[in-house]
Amino acid sequence: STQIQLINRPVGWPTQDDFRTATVELPDLGPDQVRVANEFVSVDPYMRGRMNDVKSYIPPFALGETMTGGAVGRVVESTAATHPVGSVVVHDLGWRDVAQGDASVFRVVEEIPGVSISAYLGILGLTGLTAYVGLVHIAHLKAGDSVFISGAAGAVGTAAGQIARLEGASRVIGSAGSAEKVALLTDRYGYDAAFDYKQAPVREQLRGLAGDGIDVYFDNVGGDHLEAALDVMRNGGRAALCGAISAYNATERTPGPDNMVNIISRGLTLEGFTLGNYTHVFPEFAAKMGPWLASGDVVHDETIVDGIENSVDAFLQLMRGGNVGKMLVKVA
């Protein structure tokens, strides 16, 4: 099995030298085990935090060991009646072309006609669920709300814009890092207005688009985006703090919003969340997302890098904004 392992803890931006590609001999299967040929492997922003040796909501990656994370593949060998050869399985064993182990760590999923199994790593998986939980369970989105979503052209952001509209938002504004992405937000992902945060200060641009203010802010970025949102939030506004990617590779302390007093004066609620505490929402989410996808009410896109040996490159591209929708590695 070809596997990508973390060998150094990066400071600032990770580099190829922080990883190695290893060839690992796999033993014969024991009882109730499976061997899985991975088809798609996920790269996600949260992985940057796990590369650091700090205590967080999930423990750091171990040095010298294979990077773990979401993956989907097909059972090619099995000693488990529950996981026959050919089953599609989702698991968390990450950056390797072949995964093997106890059947219990591989979740069998249904193959949906016309939908790539890669969707289980994106719109039908954790990123879709993240968008739904943030809007509905954290920010308590209600019909008529005006919504702002940062990181809008990524996996979570493209889902969030569409879910907000389907849940009755009156206006959905998004931000992203290029003119092409901004065009996709309004033409394809149901945003009413969008701006390129690299072109002018976020605060100015958001003020220009927010009309009489926003009720809900879905934050993927932190920093200047959170500050801009606090500036235009209406009384009683709610923010779901999902991510703060603008600071994930920072080597110095990053300045915080200068307008925190608005939280007091406008009675705002800012609530952070991590998905691990909301997996119980999955059935509710799936019951809505399945029909939305089938009817075409929700579209989803993927940016795919070929070859497990290019996983680090895919991760770095993701952190630099080289993706639209979900960033994935396709195992050759």
Which residue, 245 or 270, is less far from ligand NDP as judged by CB? 245
> Could you say whether residue 157 binds ligand NDP (CB under 6 A)?
yes
> Could you say whether residue 318 binds ligand NDP (CB under 6 A)?
yes
Non-local CB neighbours of 96 within 8 Å, separated by 6+ positions = 1, 2, 3, 4, 24, 38, 41, 66, 71, 308
Element (H or E) spanning 209, and its range?
helix 202-209
d(CA 276, CA 156): 15
> Could you say whether residue 128 binds ligand NDP (CB under 6 A)?
no
Q: Per-residue contact track with ligand NDP, 64 to 103, x per CB under 6 A?
A: ----------------------------------------
d(CA 295, CA 329): 27
**Residue with structure tokens 């929700």?**
298
Which residue, 33 or 161, is less far from ligand NDP as judged by CB? 161
CA angle 318, 320, 322 (to 5 degrees): 60
Which residue, 33 or 222, is less far from ligand NDP as judged by CB? 222
Q: Per-residue contact track with ligand NDP, 264 to 303, x per CB under 6 A?
A: ---------xxx----------------------------
> Could you say whether residue 161 binds ligand NDP (CB under 6 A)?
no
Q: Per-residue contact track with ligand NDP, 176 to 215, x per CB under 6 A?
A: xxx--x---------------x------------------
> Could you say whether residue 141 binds ligand NDP (CB under 6 A)?
no
The dihedral over CA atoms of 24, 306, 279, 184, expressed in degrees to the nearest 10, equals 170
Of residues 243-262, those binding ligand NDP (CB under 6 A): 243, 245-246
d(CA 327, CA 262): 35
Buried b (16+ CB within 10 A) or exposed e, 163-187: bbbebebebbbbbbbeeebbebbbe
Q: How far is the CB of 112 from ligand NDP (least distance, A)?
A: 22
> Could you say whether residue 5 binds ligand NDP (CB under 6 A)?
no
Classified as helix, coil or strand, 309 is helix
Beta bridge partners of 20: 5
Residues at the interface with ligand NDP (CB under 6 A): 44-46, 127, 130, 151, 153-157, 176-178, 181, 197, 220-221, 242-243, 245-246, 273-275, 318-319, 321, 323, 327
